[in-house]
Amino acid sequence: MENKWLDTWRARWARMKRGWELAISGLLLTVGVLLSVALLPELPSMVWGTLTGDGEAARTLFICAAGVAVCVLQWRWRTAFYPQLRRDAAIARDKSSS
């Protein structure tokens, strides 16, 4: 009886962790999209400022590009970053190969 109860809570905990990891990765993806949307109107002036030697424009452009890249890459490789999603992907891969 106790083992069944423990297995039930482990399954619930795994679902909660998976949901939490998906929520975090989705939130970071949303931040990346919003950052890129905010960057688009200012992009020509930042590129021009960078080409003319404005250090602040170059720094801002680099930070925004790095922020967007981090947000998109963590979504692309979310199964590598989040343990529960990695386990789910491995289980799905094992099922498909057999």
Residue 93 lies in a domain: no
Residue 72 lies in a domain: yes
| 47: Cβ contacts below 8 Å, ≥ 6 apart | 61
Number of structural domains (the chain) is: 1
> Whose CA is closest to 47, among 32, 31, 65, 35?
65
Q: Give the residue numbers spanning the domain of 63.
A: 2-86
Residue 79 has pLDDT above 80, yes or no: no
Distance, CA of 83 to CA of 21 (rounded, Å) = 9
pLDDT tens, 11-63? 888 888 888 888 888 888 888 889 889 889 989 998 999 999 999 999 999 99
Name residue 42's amino acid. E
Other CB atoms within 10 Å distance of the CB of residue 82? 20
Residue 11 lies in a domain: yes
